Amino acid sequence: SSLTVPGNLFHMASWSQCLVDNPEILDVMEHIFGPPRVDGQPAYVAYEAGGDFCLGNVAQFQALHSDWSSATEQAFMSGEDEQANPIARWSPPPLVCVNYCVQPLTRWNGAMRIVPWREMMRHGHLPCVSWEAEAHPQWLAAKVFPQQIGDALLRDVRVWHGGTPNLSGDARYLPSAMFMRRDAF
């Protein structure tokens, strides 16, 4: 559709009805972003619908990354002082991603790994996987599993995350929806 932003799947009824207009998720978004504004509009907007996948029989780790470009190098210019860091002190988060489990996530099929915020703040740059393996092997083991079909993983898009090896023979899919604070535009 010419009205659809490239890469978004809002035009697909399955994404819009099941992932974006999900009453349980919308309740959580209201809890995160706050009550509706004076004009009755939610304090957030559905920003993006999409997802990711990992093919089967992949032995490599995906490099850590943030889905919010401002949360990479720029975010750490002020060092460990979170109060001096405008990216770190932005609460609630500017953007929340909801990944939906459409198949069980296990230790074998490419579960997501997430680096805790405090540990991110100690480093001035996104590390490569080889440095991670040497300096912070626990990051490589920080998998978010087990997850069952129907579970949802909510995360602040500023956190560093990446995929883990998918040693199963099957592709792993994680459809997603992102919700943004209205004042983050």
Contact 150, 22 (CB under 8 A): no
Model's pTM, two decimal places? 0.85
**In the numeric block, which tokens belong to residue 70?**
């401002």
Rounded-to-integer distance, Cα 47 and Cα 64, Å: 23
pLDDT score for 85: 58
Which class for 27: exposed (0-12), middle (13-18), buried (19 or more C-beta within 10 A)?
Answer: exposed
Residues 79-137: tens digit of each pLDDT: 555 555 555 667 789 899 999 999 999 999 999 999 887 787 777 678 899 999 999 99
Q: How confident is the model at residue 4 (pLDDT cuts 50, 70, 90)?
A: very low
